[in-house]
A and B are shown apart, each in its own frame.
Chain A
Amino acid sequence: MAQRMALSTNYAIAYAVKNCDVDVIAAYPITPQTTVVERLSEFVANGELDAEYIPVESEHSALSAVIGASAAGARVFTATASQGLALMHEVLFMASGMRLPIVMSIANRTLSMPLNIHNDHQDMMSSRDCGWIQIYISSAQEAHDTVIQAYRLAERLDILLPVCVCYDGYVLSHTYEPVEVRDKQKVLEYTPRVERPHVLDPDKPITMGVMALPNYTYEFKYQVVDALKRVPKALEEVDAEFADKFGVKYGLYEEYMCSDADVIMIALGAIASTARLAIDNLRSKGFRIGLFRPRLYRPIPVELWKSVLRKAKMLAIVDRAIAFGGCGGPLFSDVATMFINDSERPLMINFIAGIGGRDVTVRDLEQMGLMAFKSLEEGLKEQCIYFGVRGVDYGL
């Protein structure tokens, strides 16, 4: 039976993993992810989940162990954040290159230095082009449902890619919300076991993780490129099947008041929830502004995004990560790139905000919106604004 419970996003994820009947979990504690795997270890300890829980000695080993387990045919899960994700970095590419349907939740947290346990997206953005499907969510319920969808998506034979479900550390990970925990039987019907073509099996011995020379490496890597191309449509299907089964649909992105907007604000994750209020306030003052929250961020469904964004005169892109020495934040760079060859395209302004858990308030977002309108009227003075840093004044 479905159950309505007050759960933090971390716990909402743990319940989803339990109801997907995973076989192997390997994880290492790291704030603010830890309560996910604490709860999972309780499920295993009390027999609610029949799985092997591997308390590994590092995140590098966590991902390595779930790669081994997934290669042996198991349904697997791991979770991490921040430095843990950075420590996994090389292994991320191996998981996608080996086409293993691993699901990992990431409670996004900044990267040292300075050491800081609070939220921004620096961890994931530093690993964003690693061949994983990346979905950013903005509520505990969405996290719960997305983990279930992630198994369905990852294990599709036309996809077979690892998926990470990203959510803001503390802001979401530790915030309790009412969550409908989906009925286990229905979850298992939705995520049936599939026979994968490539697993370790003495009856059909194969060699996994080959070495390749320049003559074959590119072709193996292109397989990942190709599989990622299929993801947007596959996620739409997976989402539609989810809606049939559970009555909720998330889509590949969320748009709010975008249809007539002169300025569209783009933000991932929790900031987007706050931004709705800012949009409402600015709308009430007569500013035609909308909000676009990407859900599927890797791969980017370029044409879908553009179909919404191209109507605006100005895009205000809020990045919760710094691309040191780059042309702007990572989200900004992505959006700018998708319009680069269009003769008519919106202007774009980039706000770097919320670094290291700095609050991004409704008022902050209103101010960003106003700065976007001002830049639209008076011309763009600064393309990338490090918003709210004490000691920096852009005169806007």
Chain B
Amino acid sequence: MSELKKWFELPIGCTNIEPGSSLNNITAGWRVFTPVIDEKKCTKCYLCWAFCPENAIKIADDGFPKTDYRYCKGCGICSNECPAKAITMIRQEV
């Protein structure tokens, strides 16, 4: 309990003054299947990036989409929607 803030340490009026602080919530633990992108097949259409509900696919400097596995929940939309069938869902090793 010690890390929880005291009442006078909270921002006023039920606000959160740290925009985007959900990044502190790592959601990798939700994942059962993990998407793996085969860059040989990827055509860089970026549909996976556009559809990702987790905002967990980033376009890297080389132009390929990369999954941020800290936030990927393994929903599988990227794999299902990839026109080039470049994304495979692999069962996560525990």
Interface assignment of A160: CB less than 8 Å from any CB of chain B:
yes
Report which of B5, B14, B19 forms a contact with A97, defined as CB distance below 8 A. Answer: B14
Task: Let me know if B16 and A206 touch, CB within 8 A.
Answer: yes
B28 to chain A, nearest CB (A): 21
With the chains together, A60 CA to B21 CA distance in Å? 32
With the chains together, A208 CA to B8 CA distance in Å? 17
What is the number of residues of chain B that contact chain A, defined by CB distance less than 8 Å? 14
A30 to chain B, nearest CB (A): 28
Report which of A99, A207, A218, A222 forms a contact with B12, defined as CB distance below 8 A. Answer: A99
Chain B interface, >50% SS class: loop
Q: Mark A188-217, 1 if CB is under 8 A from B, else 0.
A: 000000000110000001111110100110
A215 nearest CB neighbor, chain B only: B4
User: Within residues 1 to 60 of chain B, which ones have a CB less than 8 A from any CB in chain A?
Assistant: 4-8, 10-17, 19
Task: Let me know if A198 and B12 touch, CB within 8 A.
Answer: yes
Interface assignment of A112: CB less than 8 Å from any CB of chain B:
no
Report which of B6, B13, B19 forms a contact with A198, defined as CB distance below 8 A. Answer: B13
A67 to chain B, nearest CB (A): 11
Task: Let me know if B12 and A206 touch, CB within 8 A.
Answer: no
Q: Counting chain A CB atoms within 10 Å of each CB, which of B5, B10, B14, B16 scores highest?
A: B14
Residues of A close to B6: CB separation below 8 A: 219
A268 to chain B, nearest CB (A): 29
A205 nearest CB neighbor, chain B only: B19
Task: Let me know if B10 and A206 touch, CB within 8 A.
Answer: no
A199 nearest CB neighbor, chain B only: B15
Task: Let me know if A98 and B7 touch, CB within 8 A.
Answer: no
Interface assignment of A24: CB less than 8 Å from any CB of chain B:
no
Task: Let me know if A206 and B14 touch, CB within 8 A.
Answer: no
Task: Let me know if B7 and A198 touch, CB within 8 A.
Answer: no
A209 nearest CB neighbor, chain B only: B14
Residues of B close to A220: CB separation below 8 A: 7, 10, 14
Number of residue pairs spanning A and B whose beta carbons lie under 8 angstroms apart:
56
What is the number of residues of chain A that contact chain B, defined by CB distance less than 8 Å? 22
Task: Let me know if A208 and B7 touch, CB within 8 A.
Answer: no
With the chains together, A208 CA to B12 CA distance in Å? 10
Interface assignment of A63: CB less than 8 Å from any CB of chain B:
no
Residues of A close to B11: CB separation below 8 A: 197-198, 206
Q: Mark A162-206, 1 if CB is under 8 A from B, else 0.
A: 000000000000000000000000000000000001100000011
Interface assignment of A100: CB less than 8 Å from any CB of chain B:
yes
Task: Let me know if B12 and A197 touch, CB within 8 A.
Answer: yes
With the chains together, A219 CA to B13 CA distance in Å? 11
Task: Let me know if B15 and A198 touch, CB within 8 A.
Answer: yes
Q: Mark B61-72, 1 if CB is under 8 A from A, else 0.
A: 000000000000
Report which of A100, A205, A218, A226 forms a contact with B13, defined as CB distance below 8 A. Answer: A100
Whether A98 contacts B10 in the complex (CB less than 8 A), given A215-B4, A219-B5, comes out as no
A212 nearest CB neighbor, chain B only: B14
Interface assignment of A259: CB less than 8 Å from any CB of chain B:
no
B77 to chain A, nearest CB (A): 26
Residues of A close to B19: CB separation below 8 A: 205-207
Q: Which residues of A contact B (CB under 8 A)?
A: 97-100, 160, 197-198, 205-210, 212, 215-216, 218-220, 222-223, 226
If A198-B11, A223-B7, A223-B8 are given as contacts, then 14 extra A-B residue pairs at C-beta distance below 8 Å, sorted by A number, are A97-B13, A99-B12, A99-B13, A99-B14, A100-B13, A160-B13, A198-B12, A198-B15, A205-B19, A208-B14, A209-B14, A216-B10, A219-B10, A223-B13
- Which 9 pairs show the lowest CB-CB distances between chains A and B? A99-B13, A219-B7, A207-B16, A222-B7, A98-B13, A205-B19, A198-B15, A206-B17, A208-B15
26 contacts between A and B (CB under 8 A): A97-B13, A98-B13, A98-B15, A99-B13, A100-B13, A160-B12, A197-B11, A197-B12, A198-B11, A198-B13, A206-B11, A206-B19, A207-B15, A207-B16, A209-B14, A209-B15, A210-B16, A215-B4, A216-B4, A216-B10, A219-B6, A219-B7, A220-B7, A220-B14, A223-B8, A223-B12
